[in-house]
Structure 1
Amino acid sequence: MATDANDFARSMGIATSGLRAQSGRMRVISENIANSSSTAATAGGDPYRRKVPTFSSALDRTLDAQVVTLGKIRPDQTAFNVKYEPSNPAADASGNVKYPNVNPLIEMTDMREAQRSYEANLNIISATRRMIQRTLDILKS
């Protein structure tokens, strides 16, 4: 029975790490969306640069299992979107304004994928809790 309890704890711990990682990913995506149409604070300056979350694997010694963590959040080095808007206060000497390298459609797609992964991990936790409850019910009878 001890290994079953360890398996339940390991299952819940791994799923919980997935919840934390996907939650962090959704936070980064939300920041990207919120800044998708911002401009630089100074004329000719660089606007918000899209951030890309990464994941890493780590050994959780208490669970004796590999868990996922939110890794480094890296700047997306793709080019900014440039529009000719000479009347914009953020325009450079040529009248061009740099806009963030954020595509809201891609961000929404990434957000949906993160939500689905979050829900999958939540379902694992719920299923594990149901199995624990059924095990306890069997032991009671």
Structure 2
Amino acid sequence: MAIDELNKTLMISAAGMRAQSVRMRVIAENLANAETVGLKPGDDPYRRKVVTFASELDRATGTDTVAIKGVTRDQSEFGTRYEPGHPAADANGYVRTPNVNMLVEVSDMRQAQRSYEANLNVVDSARSMLMRTIDLLRG
């Protein structure tokens, strides 16, 4: 019974780590493209991506785990910057800039990292308990 519960704990934490890993990859992509603008007037700049999560039943263990529902594009407005010499500048000299806010991305990255680390700590604790259980069964 205890081994089954530890297995469920490991499955739940592993799902959380997978989800946060995807989230960190998407955030890194947003950060890398925070200055990516169009090549000519009227072109859209990079549009921020957002990860959404869903609860998913793991039929093997009978537990709910987190899963990636999808990666969508943030539909918030683009910014503008006055740069009349840029190839993507409009007739008034403005270039449309990505809707990526560096402060939001860094904050999201820290939150995802903390969630990943919390799940990793659970895995380490469960592994340690499993090893102690095996030692007790041997002796």
TM range (shorter): over 0.9
Distance 1:64 1:17 in 2: 14
Post-superposition offset of 1:83? 1.1
Post-superposition offset of 1:34? 0.3
Structure 1 counterpart of 2:95:
97
Distance 2:40 2:32 in 1: 19
- Between 11-20 and 33-42, the greater mean CA deviation after superposition: 33-42
Amino acid in structure 1 at the alignment position of 2:26: V
Post-superposition offset of 1:77? 1.2
Count of aligned pairs: 139
Structure 1 counterpart of 2:79:
81
Secondary structure, aligned partner of 2:17? helix
Post-superposition offset of 1:43? 2.1
After superposition, residues 55-70 of structure 1 pair within 5 angstroms as 55-70=53-68
* RMSD, matched Cα: 0.8
Structure 1 counterpart of 2:115:
117
Post-superposition offset of 1:92? 1.7
Secondary structure, aligned partner of 1:49? coil
Post-superposition offset of 1:64? 1.0
Amino acid in structure 2 at the alignment position of 1:119: E
Distance 1:138 1:20 in 2: 32
| Structure 2: runs of 5 or more not aligned | none
Distance 2:39 2:103 in 1: 25
After superposition, residues 10-49 of structure 1 pair within 5 angstroms as 10-49=8-47
Secondary structure, aligned partner of 1:57? strand
Post-superposition offset of 1:84? 1.6
Distance 2:26 2:16 in 1: 15
- Between 68-77 and 96-105, the greater mean CA deviation after superposition: 68-77
Structure 2 counterpart of 1:50:
48
Structure 2 counterpart of 1:6:
4
Identical positions, percent: 49
Amino acid in structure 2 at the alignment position of 1:26: M
Post-superposition offset of 1:90? 1.0
The ranges of structure 1 where at least 4 consecutive aligned residues each deviate by more than 3 angstroms after the TM superposition are: none
